[in-house]
Amino acid sequence: MLIQFNFKNFKSFRDDATLDLSAAKMSEFNDRVISVGGERILPVAAIYGANASGKSNVYNAFEYMAQYVVDSLHFGDDPEKYVEHRPTPFMFDDVSENAESSFEVYFTVPGDASEKSYNYGFCLGKEGVTEEWMNYKARTARKYKPIFYRSAGNNELDMPGLPKKAGENLEIALDKEVLIVSLGAKLKVEKCKLVRDWFVANEFADFGDAISNLFLSRMLPAGFVEDKAIQEKVVKYFGSFDENIKGFHVEEVPPEGESKGVTYKINALHNKIGSNEEVEIPLGMESAGTLKMFALYQELQEVLQKGSVYFIDELNARLHPLLVRNFILIFLNPEINVNHAQLFFTTHDTWQLSNQLLRRDEIWFTEKDNNGISNLYSLADFVDEDGVRIRKDESYEKNYLLGKYGAIPTLKIIDILGEK
């Protein structure tokens, strides 16, 4: 499970930013808090904020970190390729534009009987990795112990927690653009593979991106084509929000010309009014919301089975608020979410901003100041102008829209036809 994510100097976030999923000391919904590795961890985090306030950049920061862990081997000894994929720093001051960007996580591994907690992070500068570290903590311990530490500036490479032979091999083969965990995973070093696999297991979906939506809409659940049982599970899944779809008819489409790829035609089955006959409707003609939920099925199943983290940007896009709430409740229900999967999402849907659904420490905001610098903060940590913390019985949605918590747009009348 993700305990905490820290990052700095990435896009609109110039300064340190922290998304903390460890539970604060509060009384609401304590039954949903998950105790793992001596930590009390939340299953959900929702981020609100005005357009261009930095919500998506929190999502992008974690996605970038995960992608670099997986792909850094490709940048080894290739400065030009590294420059193309270097993280985008805060560009509005000379210092940050040339400074390194940092990314760090604290997490636990699903299925780990010892319930260890891990801390992993790295910094990237203009020429490659400037710093990288990995630490661990036993369930009953108070402090983290080092597995490895690397500093390009001090030409330091210390690997006390890795096997001696593995450390020697890593030191010989390591390039300045490559992460130790990426190379170590390739060389089958168990602790490096643990980090790489944890990032790989997490899923990402950007509902605000048309290309991402197109890709998702063309994904089929594993076994969907040939296994009727899988199709029935999908129908049952649809039944939680749309009972009109009674089944699917899948037909293989013969390849045309020189194409060797296999494609499938999928029709949704609906009952005809007043008879027992079924009508076939091409899946592509279903509503945008239905198609989005169909696209979500495969990744949702994998996340719930693996107990990993699902990151979704703009969860509310083309989905009814009640459907969004139903989706969130999957992660909040311990009887369904038995493997402790987590959902992190950005949204503008204030209907979910409710003390009947979310804890104060599950609600986060992004706000951008006059210098273009984004800040990330939790409702649980918010203190009003009188120094008073937010009460759990407040109307979060009403107060947010009134501007009590910040993170809303500053509006002026739109007059595109008016004279100066």
Tell me the pLDDT tens digit for each residue of 278-297.
898 888 788 777 777 887 88
pLDDT: which is higher, 387 or 204: 204
Q: Which of 25-34, 391-400, 401-410 has the lowest mean pLDDT?
A: 401-410
pLDDT value at 202 more than 70: yes
The CA distances from residue 259 to 262, 263, 307, in Å, are 8, 10, 38
Give me the chain's average pLDDT, please: 90
pLDDT bucket at 365, cuts 50 / 70 / 90 = very high
Predicted confidence band at 323 (pLDDT cuts at 50, 70, 90)? Answer: confident
Residue 385 has pLDDT above 70, yes or no: yes
Q: Is the pTM of this model over 0.75?
A: yes
Report how far apart, in Å, the C-alpha atoms of 48 and of each of 55, 111, 113, 339, 347 are: 7, 32, 35, 27, 6
Residue 107: CA count within 13 A, CB half-sphere: 26
- Give domain limits for the chain: 2-202+308-401, 223-287
Q: Average pLDDT for residues 177-205, to the nearest whole number? A: 97
pLDDT value for 260: 65
115 and 38 in contact (C-beta within 8 Å)?
A: yes
Q: Which of 121-125, 279-283, 362-366 has the lowest mean pLDDT?
A: 279-283
pLDDT surpasses 60 at 420: no
CATH number of the domain at 2-202+308-401, please?
3.40.50
DSSP assignment of 314-379: STTTTS-HHHHHHHHHHHH-TTT-TT--EEEEE---GGG--TTT--GGGEEEEEE-TTS-EEEEEG
The pLDDT of residue 204: 94
- What is the average pLDDT across 337-363? 95
User: Does 418 score more than 70 pLDDT?
Assistant: no
Separation of alpha carbons 8 and 279, rounded Å: 54
Read off the pLDDT band of 73 (50, 70, 90): very high
Task: Name the more confident of 241 and 216.
Answer: 241
Confidence of residue 361 (pLDDT cuts 50, 70, 90): very high
pLDDT confidence of residue 370: 92
**Predicted confidence (pLDDT) at residue 329 exceeds the cutoff of 80:** yes
Comparing CA positions, the residue from 374, 381, 372 lying closest to residue 405 is 381
Mean pLDDT, residues 341-349:
95
In which band, very low, low, confident or very high, does the pLDDT at 259 lie, cut at 50, 70 and 90?
low
Provide the pLDDT for residue 211.
65
